[in-house]
Amino acid sequence: MLPRGIIPHSILAALLVLMTGCTGTKNSAVTLRISMIPTMNPGKIIRESTPFIDYLEKETGAKVELTVPTNYAAVVEAMASDRVDIAYLGGFTFVQASARAGVIPLVQREKDQTFHSLFITQPDSPIRSLGDLKGHSFAFGDVNSTSGHLMPAYFMHQRGVDQAVIDKAIYTGGHDATALAVASKKVDAGAMDEQVFARMIKEGKLSESQVKVFYTSPSFFDYVWAARQALDRGMTERFANAMLKLNQGTPEQQPILQFLNASKYVRAVDASYDPLRQAARDTGLLK
């Protein structure tokens, strides 16, 4: 019989193996670093992201860390410097990240294939078309936004809008900020993301008594989830498949789709963004 408090070497060794195994399993979890451009207030996005993060962790087997910086360029920089693995980008920020770091497009919402910019003003405004913008103040969102700057500016150039309107435009930093700037009459008109507009109306944060849409742009490809080139292909596919599996008919996935403002995801193709690349070159925003 062994003295009290003495543990046989064989049992001690077995315990150490078990403890090491448990510790190893806990510490070996891969971290997936994702980021999202701040289409709306970054704090709001982070606060509402929990169901999405939980879902991704379950589907990918990784610990997911989400960051939402205060401007679009920061996400592109993080992708280019390998500080983010997968990012939710606008069409223009994808084009920029593709040129700088060869990022790989993964998935996009089905509606991102036929996206539009909305041009808004106050209901009592004399502005009824792009041609009426001359002499009026105008707001874009972030300078690197697709639907809040690149494509609105491109279509304004195409339609012969007075260059002074574009040159003197202010940048609010986000679509929601643009909507509120127009609603409060800080500017006469602005351009913004059609989905953010619809969400703000639905949530009661914007009213049709405050703003009216006076022009809807032609369609273009926009938002996309993309991965850095060196990311493990297995992880890339697990993330993409997780997004493709999201289904409105599954009750527990509805909060996730609501957060993402999506109904269905499809595979994204790099060549779909060639028209955006050309628009960015034509407007001098991409060399």
Confidence of residue 24 (pLDDT cuts 50, 70, 90): very low
Q: Which residues contact 50 (CB under 8 A, 6 or more apart)?
A: none
Go through the domains of the chain in sequence order and give each one's CATH number. Answer: 29-113+221-279 (3.40.190.10), 116-216 (3.40.190.10)
pLDDT of res. 17: 39
In angstroms, rounded to a whole number, what is the distance separating the alpha carbons of residues 27 and 83? Answer: 20
Calculate the alpha carbon distances from 184 to 40, 121, 123, 188, 206 in Å.
18, 10, 12, 9, 11
Could you tell me which residues come within 8 angstroms of residue 125 by beta carbon, excluding any fewer than 6 positions away? Answer: 188, 189, 212, 214
Q: What is the mean pLDDT of the chain?
A: 91
Position 45 scores a pLDDT of: 96
For the segment 225-243, the average pLDDT, to the nearest whole number, is 97
Overall average pLDDT of the 247-262 stretch? 95
Distances (CA, A) of 32 to 3, 26, 44, 232, 234: 50, 15, 21, 10, 12
**68: its two tokens:** 């939402």
pLDDT in tens, 175-194: 999 999 999 999 999 999 99
How does residue 29 score in pLDDT terms, banded at 50, 70 and 90? confident
CB atoms closer than 10 angstroms to residue 31: 9
pTM of the full structure: 0.85
Residue 195 amino acid letter? Q
Q: Which of 229, 272, 236 is nearest to 97 (CA)?
A: 229
Q: And the tokens for 20? A: 């090491």
pLDDT for 127 beyond 80: yes
